[in-house]
Chain A
Amino acid sequence: MEELFAPPAYEWQRLSPKYRSMRLLTTLIFVPILFTIPAIIVGVASGKWWISGVIWAVAAVILIIRLIFVPRNWRSWGYVEREDDLYITHGVMFRNLIAVPYGRMQLVEVESGPLERAYGLASVTLKTASPETGARIPGLTPEEATRLRDRLTELGEAHASGL
C-alpha cells in the first residue's frame, strides 16, 4: 500500500545516489570481515575447515540479500518539507513515516562521519523534546544538508511554540 506512506500532495525528496554506493561498499567490506574472522578462528582452533566453509556460505547468502536490499532501502528513503512539518519515510520490511512539526523542533544537527565525508555525504537529525522522535535523514549532499539545516532552523524559529 504505497499511499499509506505517501506525503499528502507532495513528492518525496530522495537521497543522494552516493549513499547507495556507500552502503554497498560498507556491506561488501563489513559482512565478509564479520564472518571471516570467526570462520578462521574456528578453522584454526578445531581444524574442521568445513565449519568455516558453512560460515562463509552463510556470509555469502547474507551478503547477497544485503546487496539486494541496499538499493531498495535507499529507494525507500524520502523526505519532504511541508508547510508546517517535515515528513520522513524509510524502511522496506518495517516501514516508517514520521512527521515532525517545525514548531516542535528543538535542535537540528548535521553530522558527517569519516566514511560519509569520503563519499561527500552528511546526515541531518531533528530533535524534539521527545526522545522517540528519532528523525534522521542520512545520505544527503553537504549542500543539501546545510540548506536543510538552515531552512529547518528558520522554520523552527518562525513556528516556535513553548512546551
Chain B
Amino acid sequence: MTPSMMQRALVRASGLYKSYNDGGQQRGVIADIDFTLTAGTVLALTGPSGSGKSTLLNLLAGTLAADSGVLNIRIADTDLDLVTLDDAARTRYRRQHVGYVFQFFNLVPTLTVRENVLLPLELNRRPDLAETALQRLTALGMADRADDFPAHLSGGERARTAIARALAHEPVLVLADEPTGNLDTDNAARVADMLISHVRKLGSGLVLATHDESIAQRADQILRLGT
C-alpha cells in the first residue's frame, strides 16, 4: 500500500476482535482482522456461514462495537474510531455515512419505491440530494415503478430499489450483505454490476459479503474469513 493510498484510506481495520456470550462462555466470532479500504474500491467478504461476515458488516455499520482492535473510518479528513464511539455517535455515523443493502432488501412495505429511496434523505435532512437520488433510480431502470409499493415488485426490482436507497444520501461507505443471495444467476450478475458501478461512480467504498465466488471476483480485494 503506497503512502498516497494510505492517505486515501477510507476504512482501516487492525487486530479487530469480537466475541459473543454463548451460554456463559465468550466465543470469538472474528479475530485479528486487518484490512484497508480506499474510496471508490470494493472489498468482498467471503467465507462459510458463521465465519463472521455479518458480524464484520455490523462492526462497520456501527450497530456492534468491537471488543478490541482498531476500526477507523476516514470522514472529511477526520478519523472516526468506531471501537470507542458511544451508541449515539455510532447512530449518527450510520445515519449520515453508511448505506446498507440487505440480503432480503428490507424495503419498508408501507412506503412506495420513490419514498423508500427518499427515506435516508429525510432522516439526514438532505432534500438537496433528492433529484440526484431519483435520477439514480431512473438509471437503475425503476422510473416506471416509482409509485409502486414493494409488495408488487419482483426480486430484481427490490434489489435495485435497495441499491438506490443505500446510495441516496451519498454515503462514504456502502455495506451489502449477500445482496444477490435471493436472485437467479442473471439477475444476481446484473444487480452486482449495478451496485459496484454506482458505488464506484459515487466514489464511496463498498464492503460486500457474498457466498458467490463470481461476484467476489469483481471486487478489488477479497477478505476470506474463517479460513
Q: Do A and B come from one complex?
A: no
